[in-house]
Structure 1
Amino acid sequence: MNNQIIIIGGGASALMLASLLPKNSATIIESNAKAGAKILVSGGGKCNITNTLMGTEYFLGDKNFVEQPLRKFNEKALLRWLERQNLHPVLRKETQYFCKDSAKELLEIFLKESRKQKVCLNEHVLEVTKRDDIFYVKTNKKTYTAKAVVVASGGLSYPKLGASSIGYEIAESFGHTIVKTAPALVGFTVQKEQFFFKELSGVSTEVKIRVGDNVCVGALLFAHKGMSGPAVLDASLYWEKGKIEIDFLPGFSWKNVEGSKKQISSLLTMPKRVTKAFLLQLSLEDKPYHQLTVKERETLQTLSHYSFAPAGTFGYSKAEVTKGGVATSEIDGSTMMSQEEEGLYFIGEVLDVTGRLGGYNFQWAFSSAYSCAKSLSSRHA
């Protein structure tokens, strides 16, 4: 065997793993013409790498499982590693670390580091089998053999960047359970009653969104398909179906405006265009607040707890990540190795672990890759 380890996928987790493994120990098999395509488009091309606020509470998934890789390789360890590669992320939005100029900075480091390994591009993995402790990885070009296989193929989001279900298919073929997948960190489409949102396309307002016990705070962006923006993307992580509640006036006190003679459109903290659209929808006249009847006030105050059910999401083509995936109850959280098959590993987005907006999914990719690298290095030294 030329290489002992096959890495399926060429995204963030795969490239980090290749960087951490000993030279000439692995082969990366990537379906795209270039590795790291998704890195380049993340964070508006700036790549939100990690966050100073790091913990299991920012992830959807089994907390005990998520904690193990995060503890071994946290955001501080990641920043130290990047600085050794001469990349110095900058702090923006108070807690989020981004590439200084563009995501190319991070990708160039990974491409340089991954040259230590063999990289096969434009090659699609068709299946993985195992006989006599040897894995056989069949692609559209040839069959590779290896002592260990790492599935780092990501999820289903961004199909135009080569996303596929191969990671889930491999997992199932070795007896793994796949937790139902869905688009996440994605905008919501709306029901007929909220079609007026589309007329506000391009307008943004600060909100607080409640999905079950989860609260997401930030901007809501009205879009031609419905609604998007950071708070909405975070909310999509927790939403499956049914109602969500939006406070369109976070921090606003109705008590403090009792008796106000200001026009409603001047009084409320939303953009006037948004306020007027809601007034029309609620069949309320834009008049001085003190002139409202008790019933009209009650109607207006629903803007602090506006409840409705989204029709759905914008789908995988617009989703930043995929939630669901390989069940973590069947994976060793300290090594990322399958508990069903010796020598088979899963890292990154293919697992049933999804972070909120703000660098959490990249941190998960890198932390899970680190745990995997440590295990592989000790087993195949």
Structure 2
Amino acid sequence: MSKICKIYDVLIIGAGAAGLFLAANLRGKSVAILEKNATPGKKILASGGGRCNVTNRRIDASNYLGDADFATNILKNLCFKDVLKFFGELKFNEQKQNQFFCESGAKDVLGVLLKRARQSGAHIFCGVCVKSARKILTDENGQILDVSPAQNCDKNLTDFETKFDQNEQNLNEIFEVIAENGDKFYAKNLVVASGGLSYKSLGASDIGYEIARSFGIKVIPPAPALVGFTVQKEEFWFKNLSGVCFPAEISVVCASKNSANREPKMPRKFADDILFTHKGISGPAVLNASLFWQKGLIAINFCPNFSIETAQKSKKQLSTVLSLPRR
């Protein structure tokens, strides 16, 4: 048996926005954050074009996939006003009446998060690439018991404890996190805030999914989201419209997974700007719609406010009546 020198109250994997914000609000507890990159918050610095769109006035569970009740419960405990209050020393510019960007840039947003996390006593360990996590048992002296309950994730801790004398008292269940270099960290509570798979160049990895699977948690295979609509090579005439931006409405229709005849659901509609690129269409409307697209139909209404009746009564040329850029 080996003895543990330090057991944290909370161990957080990932020094991004979620991990740092949590650490800043865990006052009075011993907290450690494990960050894969050499410095914390790389994705924060890249967000919002370097201005960090830190929060949104219109936050609703309907904008998230998964368990709606779970999302609702989270969102009701933290509104956008709470976030702005947390960053009270910074100034934010609200765009399109819902998106809050930091006027002085993402670097200052990260600075506040780091300052508050350290004020709460959190220790940040950078350059730590997590390999795995498991539950272990220790005795009252912090000695690790030799048998690991994580050898079979289908067995719970109670099954493991039966291997020990029933009279043995003060067994503690803790988490052991192992880094790729062999370093080990221990904590009473573990928070995985490693993010998703996007932006591998910023340090993203699948460690969060791997840890979830190791604890027997079902993982839904991730799909691309917040991505543009890309056309095929023969349709690259889109590049002639590159840079054109205007409001439109996108409808995403997906077949119901629960329907035997695969009848389409009611479409979800997204009204916002679209931006033509040399290989397709991007912009807020397309990026938001991409989250809900599941290889079904996408319809784009380029003139959502156009009325054919009004056009028929007008003596103007159609190109003038249409609310579209000249190109």
Per-residue CA distance 1:84-113 (angstroms, 9 max, x = gap): xx2342322212222122111211001112
Moved more, 193-202 or 212-221: 193-202
Does residue 1:47 correspond to 2:52, yes or no?
A: yes
Does residue 1:272 correspond to 2:322, yes or no?
A: no
Where does residue 275 of structure 2 map in the other structure? Answer: 221
Per-residue CA distance 1:241-264 (angstroms, 9 max, x = gap): 132011001101111111655444
Does residue 1:166 correspond to 2:207, yes or no?
A: yes
TM-fit CA distance, 1:23? 5.0
Answer whether contact 2:91 2:104 (CA < 8 A) is retained. Answer: no
Per-residue CA distance 1:30-52 (angstroms, 9 max, x = gap): 01111111111111111112222
More helix by share: 1
TM-fit CA distance, 1:158? 0.8
How many residues are aligned here? 271
What SS does the corresponding residue of 1:145 show, helix, strand or coil?
Answer: strand
Structure 1: runs of 5+ lacking an equivalent: 274-381
Does residue 1:94 correspond to 2:68, yes or no?
A: no
- How far apart are the structure 2 equivalents of 1:226 and 1:89? 32
Does residue 1:28 correspond to 2:19, yes or no?
A: no
- How far apart are the structure 2 equivalents of 1:223 and 1:93? 22
User: Of residues 100, 123, 140 in structure 1, which corresponds to 2:128?
Assistant: 123
Does residue 1:137 correspond to 2:177, yes or no?
A: yes
TM-fit CA distance, 1:78? 2.1
Matches within 5 A, 1:269-348: 269-273=323-327
TM-fit CA distance, 1:176? 0.5
TM-fit CA distance, 1:194? 4.3
TM-fit CA distance, 1:192? 5.8
Where does residue 71 of structure 2 map in the other structure? Answer: 66
What SS does the corresponding residue of 2:21 show, helix, strand or coil?
Answer: helix
Where does residue 259 of structure 2 map in the other structure? Answer: none
Structure 2 counterpart of 1:247, which letter? N
- How far apart are the structure 2 equivalents of 1:6 and 1:77? 24
TM-fit CA distance, 1:145? 1.5
Where does residue 242 of structure 1 map in the other structure? Answer: 296
- How far apart are the structure 2 equivalents of 1:221 and 1:261? 30
- How far apart are the structure 1 equivalents of 2:235 and 2:316? 27
- How far apart are the structure 2 equivalents of 1:111 and 1:260? 60
Shift of the 207–193 alpha-carbon distance from structure 1 to 2, 3 Å rule, reads: farther
Structure 2: runs of 5+ lacking an equivalent: 1-5, 138-172, 254-266
Shift of the 259–78 alpha-carbon distance from structure 1 to 2, 3 Å rule, reads: closer
- How far apart are the structure 2 equivalents of 1:178 and 1:218? 32
Does residue 1:208 correspond to 2:249, yes or no?
A: yes
- How far apart are the structure 1 equivalents of 2:307 and 2:188? 63
- How far apart are the structure 1 equivalents of 2:325 and 2:126? 49
TM-fit CA distance, 1:120? 0.7
User: Of residues 220, 229, 253 in structure 2, which corresponds to 1:179?
Assistant: 220
TM-score by length of 1: 0.68
What SS does the corresponding residue of 1:251 show, helix, strand or coil?
Answer: coil
User: Of residues 174, 185, 188 in structure 2, which corresponds to 1:147?
Assistant: 188
Task: Considering Cα pairs closer than 8 Å and 6+ residues apart, tell me whether 1 or 2 has the greater RCO.
Answer: 1
Structure 1 counterpart of 2:237, which letter? F
Answer whether contact 1:126 1:138 (CA < 8 A) is retained. Answer: yes
Structure 1 counterpart of 2:127, which letter? N
Structure 1 counterpart of 2:98, which letter? T
- How far apart are the structure 1 equivalents of 2:95 and 2:125? 36
Does residue 1:8 correspond to 2:13, yes or no?
A: yes
Where does residue 240 of structure 2 map in the other structure? Answer: 199
Answer whether contact 2:245 2:273 (CA < 8 A) is retained. Answer: yes
- How far apart are the structure 1 equivalents of 2:232 and 2:296? 12
- How far apart are the structure 2 equivalents of 1:193 and 1:271? 24
Shift of the 200–266 alpha-carbon distance from structure 1 to 2, 3 Å rule, reads: same
TM-score by length of 2: 0.78
Per-residue CA distance 1:212-254 (angstroms, 9 max, x = gap): 2211111111112211111110110111213201100110111
Per-residue CA distance 1:307-365 (angstroms, 9 max, x = gap): xxxxxxxxxxxxxxxxxxxxxxxxxxxxxxxxxxxxxxxxxxxxxxxxxxxxxxxxxxx
What SS does the corresponding residue of 2:239 show, helix, strand or coil?
Answer: helix
Where does residue 278 of structure 1 map in the other structure? Answer: none
- How far apart are the structure 2 equivalents of 1:111 and 1:68? 27
Moved more, 99-108 or 20-29: 20-29
Answer whether contact 2:7 2:185 (CA < 8 A) is retained. Answer: no
Q: Give the RMSD, CA atoms, in angstroms.
A: 1.7
Shift of the 90–272 alpha-carbon distance from structure 1 to 2, 3 Å rule, reads: closer
- How far apart are the structure 1 equivalents of 2:252 and 2:102? 31
Where does residue 105 of structure 1 map in the other structure? Answer: 108
